[in-house]
Amino acid sequence: MKIKILYTHERVKHPVLSTVILKTGVPLNILEASISPSRGELVVDVPASGDQLKAVIEALKAEGVEVRELGPTIEVDEEKCVLCGACVSPCPTGAITLTMERLEIDEQLCIRCKACVIACPFKALSMASTSWEA
Amino acid sequence: MEARGAETLRTYEEINEKIKRGDAVVMRADEFVEYAKRYGVEKAAKDVDVVTTGTFGAMCSSGAFINFGHTEPPIKMWRCWLNDVPAYKGLAAVDVYLGATAVSETRGIEYGGGHVIEDLVSGREVELRAEGWPTDCYPRQYVETVITLEEVNQAVLVNPRNAYQRYAAATNSTDRILYTYMGTLLPRYGNVMYSGSGELNPLTKDPGYETIGIGTRIFLGGGIGYVIGEGTQHNPKAGMGTLMVRGDLKQMNAKYLRGATIHRYGSTLYVGVGIPIPLINRRVAETAATPDEEIYTEILDYGVPSRSRPIVRRVSYAELKSGRVEVKGETVRASSMSSLPRALEIAETLKRRIEEGEFTLTRPAELLPTVREFKPLEVKRYEPRVKDVMTKRVISAKPADDVKTVARLIVEHGVDHIPIVRSDGRLVGIVTSWDLARALAEGKQTLSEVMTTKVIVAKPEEAVDVVARRLLQYKISGMPVVDEEYRVLGIVTTDDLAKLVKGRRGAP
């Protein structure tokens, strides 16, 4: 499960993730981070589900940060995609599978590295960054 | 032995009669492979009249001749742009050739000739801009307007090299990502990229060129096209034949003709080609029945920037298409630059068109040549190599040497790079003046504590510009020149390269 964490300027100095990791014992994995003096945004993979996932989200909220669930990471424009495999083997985690009908992206494996976006000769792939913007 | 192209099983006329009656037996190449496996080639050859093939991939040697018609007053265009992409104007007044790899002067490789062709085929308006060479008969100096495919007189796709019989696959031995025309190649043999549709590939199904030649009617970009001869770099001996083709752009469909940009490489055109293979004799039936398991290509190491890239291994299209390939003892992912689903769709569409009587076959006026030399371009002018510009007197040190002694060496000899070699002369590391400054500041004692062990090196025979590019890539100012055994022969630095430029201009 991937989530986005938004920091306000009051919380930006706090070791929020470390606190949550120690508290819940879930090894959070940071996929993207942009921290400035006034605010911060992180995309984090939470390798947990059910109650454990709920515990992580509660712990994050207790630290005073905003938590949002991420929708699909990579969007495929089916008009533009010609079903070649230019994006498939360059994916470092093997998250992309090409069938005779479509391109399938495993959200669990995707680490948002954009290797596929770069590799596509038709600009058919894009990072779905706007879907969770406020 | 019967002649090449002998029509001993059936003639073109007999096949076309059956097509007109609607009872020709047509199979896609993949279906025919299965059929022949099941019933044997003998029966398959008897039962089936035509096998259809298909491929859809990047074909850089593609482009279109366009005639715009004359303006009032007329212009003799000598420079011309379509959506800011320059078209070749070494032709008559309003004829141009728009090449697939030409790039936009405003947008760069993001938009090229291939994209203009796709836009035209999609019915979109394209901006035409041209400068004239005013004469008494062509007074106009400049024109700017928009055109559509429908409005121009002719728009003919004429591709000098399409539909490679097979293509070498690519991998990467270096420690950095390579962006090549074969796509993204992950470091340390991290993946394999390939191209071509294997058992669906047109020329692979008739490698003796018994049915394909000048005048062969084909599926091209969704419309009807013709083979107009062997393609450039046609190399039958290596099993890498190619085709030169033409077709009316006005009949084509953007589904089978797509502009593309390959990251950090350039723009190109994806072209859909499908060729019907009439089973005129037993040999053709046999080659048409060849399965992916028996169609081989090589995996080349694109980490070596040379005309002759080392062969990593031989591989079948069956293995490539499985998506997993063994390279250097590891199983890595393989994927294709060309589209297999679309290749299949082309073979299927061509099959249906033949079955429905819309597409008949033609006997080539002349078959493709089976002998043709594929020659390299030898550079006859002097070109400096690393061994010509490198500094041969190298100050080197041993791993156990002490930092201060080596710092003194740097000062005494006025050098910036000290290769570290073992007692047998083999390179194990490098230190720069900067490394030594840091070592002294941090109180380190021996070189082995501070040296860089992953050394970027040059080979003596390498071209100077390749090495200059490598220096820039790794943001370094010099590298040891080593032989095959990693013994240091010299050192090549940015200073050596700067001297070269000075020399070239003839300055003292």
Highest CATH level, class, for A2-69: alpha beta
Contacts B270 to A, Cβ<8 Å: 82, 84, 121
Contact A88 B333 (CB under 8 A): yes
The length of chain B is 508
pLDDT tens column, B155-185? 999 999 999 999 999 999 999 999 999 999 9
A12 touches chain B (CB under 8 A): no
- Of residues B470 and A132, more confidence is placed in B470
The whole-angstrom distance between A108's CA and the closest CA on chain B is 19
Q: Nearest to residue B117, comparing CAs of B80, B57, B157?
A: B157
Distance CA B400, CA B420 (A): 9
Contact A88 B268 (CB under 8 A): no
As annotated, the active-site residues of B are 137
Q: Phi first, then psi: what are they for B246, rounded to 5°?
A: -140, 155
Collapsing DSSP to helix, strand or coil, B270 comes out as strand
Chain A residue nearest residue B191, CA to CA: A89
- pLDDT value of residue A132: 41
Chain A residue nearest residue B111, CA to CA: A122
pTM: 0.86
Residue that the structure tokens 């930092």 belong to: B403
Does the pLDDT of residue A112 top 60, yes or no? yes
Contacts B179 to A, Cβ<8 Å: 118
- pLDDT value of residue B236: 97
Residue that the structure tokens 């712990």 belong to: A59
Contact A82 B58 (CB under 8 A): no
pLDDT tens column, A19-54? 999 999 999 998 888 877 778 888 898 988 889 999
CB proximity list for B178: less than 8 A, separation 6 or greater? B172, B184, B185, B302, B303
Residue that the structure tokens 């080609």 belong to: B273
Q: Report, as ranges of residue numbers, the positions in chain B whose pLDDT lies below 70.
A: 502-508
Q: What is the residue extent of each domain of chain A?
A: 2-69, 74-134
CA B237 to chain CA centroid, Å, is 19
What are the residue ranges of CATH 3.10.580.10 in chain B?
Answer: 386-504
8 A C-beta contact, residue B316 and residue B290: no
Look up the ipTM and state it. Answer: 0.86
Contact A121 B344 (CB under 8 A): no
A2-69 and A74-134: same fold? Answer: yes
CATH for the B386-504 domain, from 3.10.580.10, 3.90.1300.10, 3.40.1350.10, 1.10.150.130: 3.10.580.10
Distance CA B178, CA B193 (A): 12
| Chain A (101-130) residues lying within 8 Å, Cβ to Cβ, of chain B | 101, 115, 118-119, 121-123
| Chain B (85-124) residues lying within 8 Å, Cβ to Cβ, of chain A | none
Phi-psi region for residue B299, left (φ > 0), alpha (ψ -120 to 50) or beta?
beta
CA A2 to chain CA centroid, Å, is 5
Domain range A74-134, CATH architecture: 2-Layer Sandwich (3.30)
The whole-angstrom distance between A77's CA and the closest CA on chain B is 14
